[in-house]
Amino acid sequence: MYRMKQFKIFSLLILWGISTSVFGQMTVTDHRDEAFTEIGYRQGTAYRTASGKPGPAYWQNGADYQLEATLDEKEHVIKGKVHITYKNNSPENLDFVWLLLEQNRFTPESRGTLTTPVQGNRYSGDIDGGYKISNVKAQVAGKNKPVTSDYFISDTRMQVTFSEPIPANGGRATVSMDFEFKIPEKGMDRMGRQQVEDGVIYSIAQWYPKVAVFDDVTGWNTDPYLGAGEFYLGYGDFDYKITVPFDHIVVGSGELVNPSQVLTREQQRRMKAASESDERVYIISPDEITDYANTRPRQDGMLTWHFKMKNTRDVAFASSKAFIWDAARINLPSGKKAMAQSVYPKESDGQEAWGRSTEYSKASVEHYSEMWYEYPYPVAVNVASNVAGMEYPGLNFCSFKAKGEGLWGVTDHEFGHNWFPMIVGTNERRHAWMDEGFNTFINYYSYLAFNNGEYTNNLIQTRRYTGWLTNKDREPTATHPDRTQPNNLGMVAYYKPALGMIMLREYILGPEIFDKAFRSYIRTWAYKHPQPSDFFNHMENVSGENLDWFWKGWFYSNANIDLAINGVYPYGANYVVSLSNLGEMPMPVLLEITYEDGEKERRKLPVEIWFKGNQWNHLLRVDKKVVAVEIDPDKVITDINSGNDKWPSSLYQ
């Protein structure tokens, strides 16, 4: 008994000696107050529960749209009419509604123009545009309710006031008006027009007055349209008609409901064949582009293309007489089918370029449908455009110059946006990381899956970005996109949140637990408006883990990860691994142990080892001689100092 007590005392002296020898010459800052205090007050309400679900009193307003627009290709002008049926499901009466007039960004006096730097940037745009609005009518639903035309316009916003409030809890109202605008050539890299040899490609978005979101968090979301911040929109049904010159082809979000009026019988036959084929079928082949006599149902005047789309937040379309058009079937997990379509000019043709667009589109949508949530729309259209890459429900604009892996990457990224923010309707203008970051994250796995890894040379490598992560000018991921420095936007909105999600899946939670939680989040918030706290709460409640330290450190601060092995010391028949957390952000510690016989084993220590400080001695119970120990052997976490991850370090120098 005495000898056992003596051994315990001796062992404690060894541990004390390890600690003092290692730490006596270095200062390890205690970051517990920063790392482990709660991120914020996240108590649930009747609207949004603490478990990260819509509450029993959750509501969201919506709007249905009837739209008509005519394209004047000589003047590059859109003239249209919009009729909006607005549904007030909120618990308060509404005296007015706010509409978004994003074409007003393209004027000399717009806030977006005035906040664009002299040298320009990606979001520079034309300044000879803007809306002309007329014939405004607003009316609360009900018998003999008066019609008013009381409105004012402020930059990219328009307030329309009714003669009496729209009743709470289900009241309805209508707003209608005529509108007109010049189509910008440079539309902030989100829309515009491109001259090619056989005509102009019109990529049309932000084209109609639309209702701003009124929610339980901010009330009316009226942030102006400036540049980097994209969109926050409600859901509704769209019925829209686009009238264009007879020789144009139009593709749009949703279903074409009058194919017999705008397509020849042969094109209708080909469309049916495409709907049954996993290989692309030409609707208009490269040698038919200018063969109007055989590819158009009439030879003069104008044609009206009629589309419908249900439960969507937006619609966009493209029109040109320069299109090659091909399509193929998309196979969905439920057995339902959709259709991938591509339109592009002859300048973009070829198997090394847009000739594979439909293949890319089909593979992308099928992958995301299988891995996360089934694609809900009837078509997935890829449009070759002067827009480098921009997403709308069921339709993308991608660079007509893109080829090979570049075309795959932009196509896959833009179609990924159908999940974030088209299905999961986040506020892009404030929380860009919840759509760009989540989308960049799911793109990582789509790259791995496509064609047995055909394009994997440029996959995200988490430790590639440590230079930015340690840059003094870096900004937290939660920074609003319009407030983010331009040279930081790619990391803040895209890569850093994606890196965090990869670490969460591959290192912290593991794929099985993460996938269950993330799929549940998508399913729970499909066609709704989650806030960051809803995402945090939902992931925690489904996974069973308190991740405050992770959300706070990775999304709301500039904290970095630096786990270190100070040394490995014999301890009786076992070993003690002396560890430090030298960064501001804690992490679980995954150790790979190499034995004398060459065998390797992995053991994981929980993040709670750092609860009481930034030093930890781990008792490594083994029955063989240990010759090496390494933290994070797969290099998943963004540890900013790889030099202290291994013992003995001399083996790796």
Task: Evaluate whether 407 touches 456 at the Cβ level (below 8 Å).
Answer: no
Task: Evaluate whether 384 touches 344 at the Cβ level (below 8 Å).
Answer: yes
Identify which of 580, 546, 579, 505 has the alpha carbon closest to the alpha carbon of residue 36: 546
Per-residue pLDDT at 42:
76
3-state secondary structure 344-375: ECHHHCCCCCHHHHHHHHHHHHHHHHHHCCCC
Q: How far apart are CA 526 and CA 530, in angstroms?
A: 9
CA 256 to chain centre: 26
Per-residue pLDDT at 487:
94
Per-residue pLDDT at 2:
38
Task: Evaluate whether 446 touches 364 at the Cβ level (below 8 Å).
Answer: yes
Per-residue pLDDT at 456:
85
Task: Evaluate whether 60 touches 47 at the Cβ level (below 8 Å).
Answer: no
Averaged pLDDT in 10-residue chunks for the chain of 653 residues: 40 47 54 74 88 97 98 98 98 98 98 94 95 98 95 98 98 98 98 98 98 98 97 98 98 98 98 98 98 96 98 98 98 98 98 98 98 98 98 98 97 98 98 98 96 81 91 96 95 97 98 98 98 97 97 96 98 97 97 98 98 96 97 96 90 43
3-state secondary structure 275-312: CCCCCCEEEECHHHCCCHHHHCCCCCCEEEEEEEEEEE
Task: Please give the angle made by the CA atoms of 597, 602 and 608, to the nearest 5 degrees.
Answer: 145
Per-residue pLDDT at 594:
98
Q: How far apart are CA 141 and CA 86, in angstroms?
A: 10
Beta carbons within 8 Å of 144's beta carbon, 6+ residues apart: none
340 has which bridge partners? 328, 380
Question: What DSSP designation does 418 have?
Answer: I
Question: What DSSP designation does 217 have?
Answer: T
- Crossing angle of helices 357-371 and 436-449, in 10° steps, is 110
Q: Which two tokens stand for residue 456?
A: 């994997």
Q: Which two tokens stand for residue 510?
A: 């593991």
Per-residue pLDDT at 10:
39
First to last CA, the chain: 46
Q: Are strands 589-595 and 395-399 parallel, antiparallel or unpaired?
A: unpaired
Per-residue pLDDT at 653:
41
- At 173, give phi and psi (nearest 5°): -155, 165
Q: How far apart are CA 129 and CA 536, in angstroms?
A: 41
Per-residue pLDDT at 11:
45
Domains and CATH numbers, the chain: 48-55+454-556 (1.10.390.10), 59-234 (2.60.40), 563-647 (2.60.40.10)
Q: How far apart are CA 330 and CA 364, in angstroms?
A: 10
* Cα dist from 582 to 564, 617, 640, whole Å: 7, 14, 10
385 has which bridge partners? 399
CA 183 to chain centre: 26
